[in-house]
A and B are shown apart, each in its own frame.
Chain A
Amino acid sequence: MMNIRQELHDYIVHNILFGDGEKLKDDASFQKTGILDSTGFLELITFIEERFEIQVADSDVIPENFDTLRQMSAFVERKLGVAAAA
């Protein structure tokens, strides 16, 4: 059973932070911490679309869905119609 949050976490740490995962807390704001820049967001959205086979619409791209790791996982889960184990 896939752990969405873990996969997102690992993707970010591996591909965007190049291994340096200390700053990536569940509720850290990407905008405020600067963990993701605009290219980082784009790469992440592409990853989400490909990995989870969902479509991310323009209207989906709002801070409430994408500003923290927790929000992002919740967003993906909603799209998949799955209630992930916490």
Chain B
Amino acid sequence: MCGIVGICELRDGRAPVVHEIQRMMAQIRHRGPDETGIYLDDTVGLGHLRLSIIDLESGGQPMHNEDETLWIVYNGEAFNYVELRRELQQQGHRFYTTSDTEVILHLYEQEGPRCVERLNGQFAFAIWDSVRKELFLARDRVGIRPLHYTIHDGRLIFASEIKSIFAMAGVHRELDPVSLDQIFTCWTVLPGRTAFRGIHELPPGHCLKVSNGTVDITKYWEIPIYGRQEQLDLPVEALCERVLHLLVDAIRIRLRADVPIGCYVSGGLDSSGIAALAAQKFDVHWNTFGIRFEQDIFDEGTHQQTMASFLGSRHREVWATPQRIGDAFAQTLWHCEKPLLRTAPVPLYMLSELVQESGLKVVLTGEGADEVFGGYDIFKEAKIRQFWSRRPESAARAAMLAHLYGDIFRDQHARRFLPSFFGKGLDRACDPLFSHMIRWDNTSRIKTFFSSELKDAVGAADPYESIRQRLPQRYHELDTVGKAQYLETMIFLSNYLLSSQGDRVAMAHSVEIRLPFLDYRVIDLVARIPSRWKILGLDEKHLLKRMLRAALPREIVGRRKQPYRAPIVNCLLAGASGELAGDLLSDGEVRRAGLFDADKVNRLLTKLRTVESPGEIDSMALAGILSSQIIHQQFVDGFSARSHSAIHPDLIIDRRAGMKAAKSA
């Protein structure tokens, strides 16, 4: 994979400085340990850190076209680069590497900004046209690769990670109250936002152009919505065949690499499916990796073993004990760059370390299947509640919920509360956010811990309203399950799952993840399939299970879905995290940061230290508060200490007028 940074002057009279680029790059060395390079001219400075995966010999960046007028720094893979290259060669383009990077540059030469529509992959890149003096930034359709930017002091500054932007002197560092409000409601910020004021992320499926000192952002892709008439009304067997064919092709092109590839195996349907199909269709001999937990309710070890034996893979495990999760929490946050309500990213941070230790740079994962194929419980819940809302007084309809939540509501007393708990908001069945409101309303309870200054700063900002405003016109054509999928994809997938549990924690150990289920052709095809094949009755991912039935052991296909979860409270109050908590959650530190109410935090800690099994909301509160305090310390308070390092690049291309003159003198 890689890391990119850059500065683009929006006004005349100043040029970027080498050491600024070097400082930005130093912050993200983990993204590109193999090679580094810089390009500079009078308007633009570009930096690249490479994790070499395709064309190990000659694929270094920044890369140029035939006449050195176009320059690119690129983080990503365009998996269909082989086919695109052939096409471009026929059109007369000449290549000096075998990399996919060069293909993108020539495609841009050929088709301009619309080249992004032809890329099948995961990417964040910048192309500088030194003749037209235009900078073009683009990010992939669902946000697998990150790309942040800010406009400061007459310059556009961009980078893969926010820490690089903060390395620029003068850039203001402050947590954004509205972002915190969103995170403490929807578990993450909404597209375009980051946890910090003034720092933006280019939303998925968007590109940005700088021209004549102005910045323009345009959308090139959106989550597909197909109305009833446009849906594929084919028999289910035909649908299975089509989707399977496409999924296999998505896997095929994601096996393209000049280094060996591994596979994450959780023991669940999605990752097992990817691993099995690759083994069967492409004769891949896998190195597989899985996470183990000591507590039975989180552990999926048996099923991982089943898959490992089934695949004949070389399988390695990492044990995510509470102590180890606690020890790695702060470092994980440094990579995620936003407060977290859960510890789930931490075991994945540990897993990528294992991959790195095993000598691998690339893994395939099953992420995205739940969003695309209808795997989450919240979709089923929405379906039941919608059904129930038509006859709110029906006990039988309400009882369907017990089927879904049998595990959580094991306690007899608790079952009594099912109707009142889930019955809330039945009268809001028409609200576009219906499916998610209970979850978000419940999570919002933790905002009681906000300090009064933070509450004032949030003001009247309403995350629900912000979401409603972003929904496209056609959203209303979706049925209940479709709407729930849309929200989950737009919010949860892009801004949480793919970053905090995806790119960030993998890249922390220089590991690139590849996600066949998020091949845009797969997303598009499955969007055209009627909801009933996603959730048939209450059977989730029905179509996917049918497709994979022949390829997998029965017990994997037949398993009850177990959402990936990690323990929270016992981890955060243990190990290094416990020490940090003792410090950062102390009265003085809480008051100093000004984000939370010190008295309430103290009561929460007392409760958590005494109660036997902490509730979900209280756990999220602890995670949210502690992680916010840590982020505040790492990025706002204590950042300057980290910003002084610099790297010495392997390659510097300096085209600044001043420099040329000096050279020829």
Which residue numbers of A lie inside 8 Å of B, CB to CB? 14-15, 17-20, 31, 34, 37-43, 45, 56, 58, 61-63
Among B449, B599, B618, chain A packs the most CB atoms within 10 A around the CB of: B618
Say how far B607's CB is from chain A's closest CB, in angstroms: 6
What are 7 sample pairs from A and B whose C-beta atoms fall under 8 A apart? A14-B603, A20-B448, A37-B442, A38-B414, A42-B615, A43-B611, A45-B413
Residue of A nearest to B409 (CB): A38
Say which residue of A18, A34, A61 sits within 8 Å of B416 (CB atoms): A61
Which of A18, A39, A41, A61 lies in contact with B448, CB distance below 8 A? A18
Q: Which residues of chain A come closer than 8 Å to B469, judged between CB atoms?
A: none
Using A15-B607, A58-B416, A61-B413 as known contacts, say yes or no to A39 and B449 having CB atoms under 8 A apart. Answer: no
Query: A19 to B412, Cβ gap below 8 A?
Result: no
- A31-B420, A37-B442, A43-B615 known; A56 and B413 CB under 8 Å? yes
A18 and B445 contact, CB distance less than 8 A = no
CB neighbours (8 Å) of B599 from chain A are 18-19
The reply to whether B417 and A41 contact each other, CB–CB distance below 8 Å, is yes
Alpha-carbon distance A62/B420, docked complex (angstroms): 11
Contacts of A61 in B (CB 8 A): 413, 416-417
Known contacts A20-B448, A58-B412; is-contact A39 B603 (Cβ 8 Å): no
> A15-B607, A19-B600 are known contacts. Are A37 and B448 too (CB-CB below 8 A)?
no
Q: How far is the CB of B100 from chain A (nearest CB, A)?
A: 50
Which residue of B is nearest A32, CB measured? B424
Chain B residues near A (Cβ < 8 Å): 409, 411-414, 416-417, 420-421, 424, 441-442, 445, 448-449, 599-600, 603-604, 607, 611, 615-618
Q: Which residues of B contact A41 (CB under 8 A)?
A: 413, 417
* Cα A18 to Cα B615 with chains together (Å): 14
Q: Which residues of A contact B412 (CB under 8 A)?
A: 58
Given A37-B617, A38-B421, A39-B615: A18 and B413 within 8 A (CB)? Answer: no
Among candidates B417, B600, B607, B618, residue contacting A38 with C-beta atoms closer than 8 Å: B417
Asked if residues B445 and A37 are in contact (CB atoms below 8 Å), the reply is yes
Report yes or no: B603 in contact with A18, Cβ–Cβ below 8 A.
yes
The complex places the Cα of A39 from the Cα of B445 at a distance, in Å, of 12
- CB neighbours of A39 from chain B (8 A): 615-618
- Closest residue on chain B to residue A58 by CB atoms: B412
Known: A20-B600, A34-B441, A40-B615. 9 other contacts (CB 8 A): A14-B603, A17-B448, A18-B448, A18-B449, A18-B599, A31-B424, A39-B615, A43-B615, A61-B416
Total A-B pairs in contact (CB under 8 Å)?
Answer: 52
- Distance in angstroms from A12 CB to nearest chain B CB is 12
Measured CB to CB, the closest approach of chain B to A80, in angstroms, equals 19
Say yes or no: B448 contacts A42, CB within 8 Å: no
CB distance from A70 to the nearest CB of B (A): 18
Known: A58-B412, A61-B416. A18 touches B617 (CB 8 A): no
Cβ of B409: which chain A residues have Cβ within 8 Å of it?
38
Residues on the B chain within 8 Å of A63, using CB: 420
Whole-angstrom distance between the alpha carbons of A26 and B54 in the complex?
68
| Distance of A42 Cα from B603 Cα, bound (Å) | 19
Query: Could you say which residues of chain A place their CB within 8 Å of the CB of B448?
Result: 17-18, 20
Distance between Cα atoms of A62 and B417 in the complex (Å): 9
Which residues of the other chain, B, contact A15 by a CB distance below 8 angstroms?
603, 607
Residues of A within 8 A of B442 (CB): 37
A42 touches B600 (CB 8 A): no
Contacting residues, chain A, for B414 (C-beta < 8 A): 38, 42
Whole-angstrom CA separation of A18 from B607 in the bound complex: 9
Known: A18-B603, A37-B442. A42 touches B449 (CB 8 A): no
Q: Which residues of A contact B603 (CB under 8 A)?
A: 14-15, 18-19
Decide if A37 touches B416 in the complex (CB within 8 Å). no
Bound together, the chains give a CA A40 to CA B615 distance in angstroms of 8
* A72 nearest CB across to chain B (Å): 14
CB-based nearest B residue for A15? B607
**Smallest CB gap from B616: residue in A:** A39
Please state if A58 and B604 are interface contacts (CB–CB under 8 Å): no
Which residues on A sit within 8 Å (CB–CB) of B611? 43
Which residue on chain A has the smallest CB distance to residue B445? A37
In the assembled complex, the Cα of A31 lies from the Cα of B426 at a distance in Å of: 14
**Neighbouring A residues of B617 by C-beta, 8 Å:** 37, 39
Given contacts A18-B448, A37-B421, contact A42 B607 (CB under 8 A): no
Nearest to B618 among chain A residues (CB) is A39
CB of A24, distance to nearest CB on chain B (Å): 13
| Least CB distance, A40 to chain B, in whole angstroms | 8
Which of B413, B424, B441 has the largest number of chain A CB atoms within 10 A? B413
Residues of A within 8 A of B424 (CB): 31, 34
Task: State whether B417 touches A18 (Cβ < 8 A).
Answer: no
| Residues of B contacting A45 in the complex (Cβ-Cβ under 8 angstroms) | 413
Which residues from B are CB-within-8-Å of A37?
Answer: 421, 442, 445, 617
Across-interface contacts of A58 in B (CB, < 8 A): 412-413, 416
- B417: chain A residues at CB < 8 Å are 38, 41, 61
Nearest A residue (CB) for B442? A37
Determine the distance from Cα of A56 to Cα of B417 in the docked complex, in whole angstroms: 14
Given contact pairs A18-B448, A20-B600, A42 touches B420 in the complex (Cβ within 8 A)? no
Smallest Cβ distance from B310 to chain A, in angstroms? 39
Point out the residues of chain B lying under 8 angstroms from A17, CB to CB. 448
- The distance in angstroms between the C-alpha atoms of A77 and B168, with both chains bound, is 66
B413 and A42 within 8 A (CB) = yes
Most buried by A among B424, B441, B603: B603
Residues of A within 8 A of B411 (CB): 42
Cα(A62)–Cα(B600), bound, Å: 30
| A38 CA to B414 CA, complexed, in Å | 7
A23 to B250, CA, bound (A): 55
Name the distance in Å between A76's Cβ and chain B's nearest Cβ: 15
Alpha-carbon gap, A34 to B617, bound state (A) = 13
Q: A42 vs B420: C-alpha distance in the bound complex, in angstroms? A: 13
In the complex, how many angstroms separate the beta carbon of B213 from the nearest chain A beta carbon?
Answer: 50
Q: How far is the CB of B381 from chain A (nearest CB, A)?
A: 14
Q: Which residues of B contact A18 (CB under 8 A)?
A: 448-449, 599-600, 603-604, 607
Distance in Å: Cβ of B613 to nearest Cβ of chain A = 10
Expressed in whole angstroms, the minimum distance between the Cβ of A2 and any Cβ of chain B is: 21
- A31 CA to B423 CA, complexed, in Å: 10
Chain B residue contacts of A19, Cβ below 8 A? 599-600, 603
Complex-state Cα separation, A30 to B183, whole angstroms? 26
A78 vs chain B, min Cβ distance (A): 18
How far apart are the CA atoms of A15 and B609 in the complex, in Å?
12
Q: Which of A17, A42, A63 has the most CB of B within 10 A?
A: A42
Task: Considering the complex, give the chain A residue whose CB is closest to the CB of B449.
Answer: A18
Which residues of chain A are within 8 angstroms of B421 by Cβ–Cβ distance? 37-38
Chain A residues in 8 Å Cβ range of B416: 58, 61-62
The residue of chain A having its C-beta at the shortest distance from the C-beta of B607 within the complex is A15
